[in-house]
């Protein structure tokens, strides 16, 4: 028996019982507080996990809708989308190829209104599921004849690793824009897109409570 227990036994019976009850109530109160604190922490963690899941699901579903909208576009609407994006980014569009043979160039853009300042941007637009081929890259290389010409290939189907290596090793300046980059730039410059063109890929901004940092 502990010294505290021996001292307690010396108390009168009534006082001993009241003392025991008092300590028991204190013990239960402390236990209850610990349980409540633990429960509250678990609730906070659960709510945070739910918010994170809802946020990720919303982002995933929104992106899937955007992807489907672009996939359903006709090739010339997709070409217009690229031209409007370049306009919103501050480029000046010299020409957009009409339906039919285009000689390999779909859009010509400049950095100034008159086209007197290099570079001249020669754009090929590929709206399809398959990736761009090395042959198509080499065809664009052959069309970059002027000094300062820059090639831009926009492909909703993406690019193979072989194509990326071909572009890196090319003596011509060629840039690529896959679907991820196109959507990112459209979102980034959406405020500068002409109102008449926003219907090509209409977006609305939604705010979420930021998920907690890990």
pLDDT digits over 185-202, tens only? Answer: 999 999 999 999 999 999
Domain layout of the chain by residue ranges:
1-72, 75-200
Q: How far apart are CA 210 and CA 56, in angstroms?
A: 11
pLDDT tens per residue, range 84-140: 999 999 999 999 999 877 678 999 999 999 999 999 999 999 999 999 999 999 999
The residues, ordered by sequence, that sit 6+ positions from 79 with a Cβ below 8 Å of its Cβ are: 96, 97, 106, 107, 125, 127
192: preceding bond cis by omega (within 30 degrees):
no
For the domain bounded by 75-200, which CATH number is listed? 3.40.1350.10
Query: In the chain, pLDDT over 90 holds for what percent of residues?
Result: 60
**Per-residue pLDDT, 104:** 85
**DSSP-derived pairing of the beta strands 149-155 and 92-96:** unpaired
Strand order in the sheet with 149-155: 92-96, 107-110, 120-126, 149-155, 173-177
Q: Cα dihedral sign for 130, 61, 54, 206?
A: positive
């Amino acid at each position: 028996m502990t010294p505290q227990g021996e001292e307690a036994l010396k108390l009168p019976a009534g006082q001993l019982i009241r003392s025991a009850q008092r300590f028991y109530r204190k013990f239960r109160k402390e236990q209850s507080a610990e349980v409540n604190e633990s429960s509250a922490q678990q609730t906070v963690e659960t709510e945070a996990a739910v918010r994170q899941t809802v946020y990720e699901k919303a982002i995933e579903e929104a992106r899937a809708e955007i992807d489907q909208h672009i996939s359903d576009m006709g090739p010339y609407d997709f070409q217009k989308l690229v031209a409007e994006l370049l306009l919103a980014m501050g480029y000046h569009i010299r020409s957009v190829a009409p339906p039919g043979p285009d000689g390999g160039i779909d859009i010509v853009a400049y950095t100034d209104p008159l086209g007197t300042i290099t570079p001249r941007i020669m754009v090929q637009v590929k709206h399809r599921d398959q990736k761009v081929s090395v042959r198509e890259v080499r065809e664009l290389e052959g069309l970059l004849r002027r000094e300062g010409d820059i090639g831009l290939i926009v492909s909703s189907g993406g690019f193979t690793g072989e194509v990326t290596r071909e572009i890196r090793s090319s003596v011509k300046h060629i840039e690529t824009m896959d679907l991820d980059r196109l959507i990112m730039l459209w979102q980034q410059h959406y405020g500068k897109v002409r109102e008449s063109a926003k219907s090509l890929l209409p977006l609305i901004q939604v705010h979420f409570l930021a998920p907690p940092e890990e």
